Amino acid sequence: MNKKKVLIVDDEPDIVETIKFNLEHEGMECIEASDGEEALLKARKETPDLILLDIMLPKMHGYKVARFLKFDESYKHIPIIMLTAKTQEKDIELGMETGADEYVTKPFDMDMLVALINKHLEEV
């Protein structure tokens, strides 16, 4: 069985490493990006099964990354879970409008996040 590939996009290395450790323990392959431009390039090159996407990123914010991917026939099927510190209702609405399949706020519960990722990967 092929490993599911997850693109983790966050500019905080500690968060990336924590998530990566937990997902690799679950048998997933992880790819990392620390800014919006790198996220878009890696998403297009690697075609991950799911993307964990922060919003407040250098070079290009997560809303724009999600928008680019969701309006591209080749990538619109990839589930995007926005993982962000932006907790206001308007931020959540914007996240969903730009293509997020889920919106999770920091701090987050790792078990809940892994369960959510697994749920979406089963649907892929």
Structural domain total, the chain:
1
Domain range holding 100?
A: 5-123
- CATH at residue 9: 3.40.50.2300
Please give the single-letter amino acid code of residue 112: M
For 42-87, write each residue's pLDDT tens digit. Answer: 999 999 999 999 999 999 999 999 999 999 999 999 999 999 999 9
Please give the single-letter amino acid code of residue 94: L
Helical packing angle, 110-123 and 13-25, nearest 10°: 60
Give pTM, 2 decimals: 0.96
